[in-house]
Amino acid sequence: MSRHELDARRLLCPLPVIRVQEKVKTLERGDTLDVLCSDPGALNDIPAWCRINGHKLIDTRSEGHHITITIEVG
Amino acid sequence: MLAARLIADQGIHVEGINFYTGFCVEGHTHAIRNQHRAKPKRNNALWVAERLNIKLHIIDVIEQYKDVVINPKHGYGANMNPCLGCKSFMVGKARQWMEQNGFDFIITGEVIGQRPKSQRRDTMPVVARESGAFDRLLRPLCARLLPPTLPEREGWVNREKLLRMNGRSRKPQMALAKQFGFRDYAQPAGGCCFLTDKRYSHKLADLWQSRGEKRYDLDDIMLLKVGRHLRPRANFKLIVGRDDGENNFLHGYRRQYVHMFPTSHKGPLVLVNGTADASDLQLAARLTARFSQGKEDEEVTVAVCNTEGGQQLVAVRPMSPAEIPGDWYL
Ligand code: SF4
């Protein structure tokens, strides 16, 4: 189980979701991924994408204009 | 959504595909703007998939889609929308995906006569043929008005349970949505693609004209969605942030574009797109001042910044509305 990071800042939705989708394909079950984004739409889209595809949302944090979403690959 | 539900109700495994062209309108593309922050920021395709309890694959087709927009095989619609060619392209991509992932057929939510150019009885076979999907393309909402497709002939799908919708009215869809218990069902006519938007299309045409060729990259088409665009001279245009959200978004481009903002007053971040000489920059600074809170003042100080981070302060008189011809606004 390893921890990974994805920088999706400056990308507008749904590109952050697409990048997460691509990244998760390369990860193992139980790995965690921290996604950095700047489009607030990701706060809805990434959790929705996780629910549909059986991944777990661990945490979301906002700092100024930046958001970090942590997910666990299911 | 309705087509997927009709087929899923027959006990068939359905998964969704959503293509991202770069021109898609998402509720939250507008979320960049402060005033839209309160609206729900959902991705419609994800929302629909969740309601239907199906998987959704969002596929980035930004690069391949360029040819569809730049060289539309069947021309454009009322604006820069190449709908017929676009449908053939997307169904073609869905066909490839179907083949690679072991699926048997494709469904779309098309209805005969819904759109004057791209959803007519005579264009339906064009999409089936050009996409290479042929009779593996099923339109459940109007299937009974069309010849039976492979899934119907093979008995994978019960044709009797498919529909015969046709015409422009969306009432039958709304009624069906109600019957399925879909509240908050919204599929705005042509509302999901910036290429059907008159203003956006005008800005895209201006971009191509200024370049002398039909060419774009993702940043170009993203920037067309943001800010006020003004072209005071053929060699450059300005992109003016309309609120903090847009200013912040444009700020992300500060290493790619010469940009400016007022320092003596509150005001927008402005990107200079094109090649601008000293007199162009002077004009741009006066326009920047016009959109600042100092627009009625004698003088506004504007920081003019290059892409390396260098900055020069200039004091300018804000332009008056009378000095700004209407056709500068794109
Ligand atoms: S509205 Fe846009 S996405 Fe839809 S068919 Fe036309 S060009 Fe394609």
Which domains are assigned to chain A? 3-72 (3.30.110.40)
pLDDT band at B278 (very low <50, low <70, confident <90, very high): very high
- The stretch B39-46 carries a mean pLDDT of 74
Query: B166-188 burial, b for 16+ CB within 10 Å, e for fewer?
Result: beeeeebbeebbeebebeebeee
- The stretch B69-74 carries a mean pLDDT of 96
Handedness of CA B308, B230, B246, B284 (dihedral sign): positive
Tens of pLDDT, residue by residue over B175-201, are 999 999 887 766 554 468 999 999 999
Least confident of B79-93, B116-130, B251-265: B116-130
Tens of pLDDT, residue by residue over A7-28, are 998 888 899 999 999 999 999 9
Angle of helix B44-52 relative to helix A42-53, nearest 10 degrees?
30
Active-site residue list of A:
13
- Stated as kind and residue range, the H or E segment containing B57 is strand B56-60
CB A67 within 8 A of CB A7: no
> In this structure, what token pair is assigned to residue A16?
């952050």
CB B2 within 8 A of CB B180: yes
Interface test with A, best of B15, B43, B256 (most A CBs within 10 A): B43
Atom of ligand 1 nearest to the CA of B192: 1
pLDDT band at A31 (very low <50, low <70, confident <90, very high): very high
pLDDT value of position B183 = 78
Across chain B, what does the average pLDDT equal?
A: 92
CB B20 within 8 A of CB A18: yes
Q: Is the pLDDT of residue B36 over 80?
A: no
Task: Give the Å distance between the CA of B166 and the centre of ligand 1.
Answer: 19
Question: Given CB atoms, is B222 within the 8 Å cutoff of chain A?
Answer: yes
Q: Which residue of A has its CA nearest to B245?
A: A65
Atom of ligand 1 nearest to the CA of B24: 3
Instruction: Give B31's contacts in chain A (Cβ within 8 Å).
Output: 39-41
pLDDT value of position B189 = 46
Task: Choose between B38 and B83: higher pLDDT.
Answer: B83
| Pairing verdict, β A3-8 and A32-37 | parallel
Domain ranges in chain B are 2-194, 226-328
Atom of ligand 1 nearest to the CA of B77: 6
Of B41, B55, B56, Cβ closest to residue A44? B41
Of A12, A38, A48, Cβ closest to residue B29? A12
Task: Give the Å distance between the CA of B227 and the centre of ligand 1.
Answer: 23
Task: Choose between B18 and B187: higher pLDDT.
Answer: B18
pLDDT value of position B27 = 53
Q: Is the pLDDT of residue B80 over 50?
A: yes
Question: Given CB atoms, is A47 within the 8 Å cutoff of chain B?
Answer: no
Kindly report the protein residue whose alpha carbon is nearest to atom 2 of ligand 1: B193
Task: Give the Å distance between the CA of B118 and the centre of ligand 1.
Answer: 9
Name the CATH code of domain B2-194 (choices 3.30.530, 1.20.1630, 2.40.50, 3.40.50).
3.40.50
- The stretch B81-95 carries a mean pLDDT of 96
CB B16 within 8 A of CB B54: yes
C-alpha to C-alpha distance for B110 and A23, rounded to whole angstroms: 33
Tens of pLDDT, residue by residue over B110-144, are 999 888 777 888 899 999 999 999 999 999 999 99
Q: How far is CA B104 from CA B30, B88, B100, B150, in A?
A: 37, 18, 11, 10
Which residues does B263 contact at the CB level (< 8 Å), separation at least 6? Answer: B301, B302, B303, B313
Q: Is the pLDDT of residue B29 over 80?
A: no
The amino acid that residue B34 corresponds to is N
